[in-house]
């Protein structure tokens, strides 16, 4: 299915969702099935340490680090897997309240202002956003791309995922990406941080680690 596939019945996120809803949004089995907090993860598993997140290697998975051009700060981890891309970002969050309900509404508002469409739907992690986002090709031709926005509120952190490619439009591919998102481990650390601040990410060698032999080394990508 191409990026220009329309979202049937697409509309801004249901207005019944209160932007002030501060409850946590996460599967009931999150602490066992993931995404996991560092304290819940198996310490002997061969994770790739990227600072705020740890990624479990698997065959066919390629890592890319997205770097902010001005500051050279790593701002996201992109996971390319079987025709899909999953971008993950970990953020600091309050201990007892969640961020996903409010952030999801803000994403929907932003996409609508850009001329796009969004649809609220149930997913593996609870409510998620299916978006149709307008884009402009190099030659000036207008098109649209489909993306899924997913999120999970954990203990003192929030993990956001953006799914593009097959995982956004195909149920089977989407299930594989959901499984990949579950395997992410968030490392919040003990340093006080304001809610919504990005938990610092870094290249693997910044901590003395390197990806396993069957894993592509992460590369800095200054493109957005």
pLDDT by residue (tens digit) across 18-42?
Answer: 445 679 999 999 999 999 999 999 9
Domains of the chain in start order, with CATH, are: 30-205 (3.40.1000)
State the pLDDT at residue 205. Answer: 60
207 or 151, which is more confident: 151
DSSP β-bridge partners for residue 74? 67
Q: Would you place residue 216 in the very low, low, confident or very high pLDDT band (cuts 50, 70, 90)?
A: very low
The predicted structure's pLDDT at residue 212 = 41
Work out the average pLDDT over 65-83: 96
List Cα–Cα distances, 134 to 112, 162, 184, in angstroms: 10, 16, 29
pLDDT at 21: 62
Q: What is the DSSP letter of 126?
A: E
Mean pLDDT in residue range 70-77: 95
Q: What is the CA radius of gyration of the chain?
A: 17
Which tokens in the block code for residue 70? 């001005």
Integer Cα distance of 42 and 134 in angstroms: 41
Specify the DSSP element, H or E, that contains 97. Answer: none
Q: Which residues pair with 76 in a beta bridge?
A: 66
Does position 95 have pLDDT exceeding 60, yes or no? yes
122-137 pLDDT, tens digit each: 999 999 999 999 987 7
Look at 10-14, 44-48, 91-95, 172-176 and tell me which has the smallest mean pLDDT: 10-14
| % of the chain residues with pLDDT over 90 | 76
């Amino acid at each position: 299915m191409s990026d220009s596939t329309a979202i049937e019945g697409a509309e801004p996120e249901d207005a019944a969702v209160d932007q002030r809803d501060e409850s946590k949004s996460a599967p009931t089995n999150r602490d066992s099935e993931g995404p996991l907090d560092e304290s819940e993860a198996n310490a002997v598993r061969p994770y790739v340490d990227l600072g705020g997140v740890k990624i479990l290697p698997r065959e066919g998975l390629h890592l890319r680090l997205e770097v902010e051009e001005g500051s050279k700060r790593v701002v996201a981890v992109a996971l390319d897997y079987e025709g899909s891309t999953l971008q993950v970002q970990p953020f600091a969050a309050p201990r007892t309240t969640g961020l996903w309900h409010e952030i999801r509404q803000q994403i929907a508002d932003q996409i609508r202002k850009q001329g796009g469409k969004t649809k609220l739907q149930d997913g593996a992690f609870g409510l998620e956003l299916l978006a149709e986002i307008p884009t402009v090709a190099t030659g000036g031709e207008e098109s649209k791309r489909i993306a899924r926005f997913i999120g999970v509120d954990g203990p003192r952190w929030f993990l956001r995922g953006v799914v593009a490619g097959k995982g956004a439009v195909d149920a089977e591919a989407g299930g594989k990406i959901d499984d990949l998102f579950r395997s992410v481990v968030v490392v919040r650390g003990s340093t006080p941080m304001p809610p919504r601040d990005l938990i610092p990410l870094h290249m693997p060698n910044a901590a003395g680690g390197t990806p396993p032999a069957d894993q592509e080394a992460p590369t800095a990508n200054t493109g957005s």
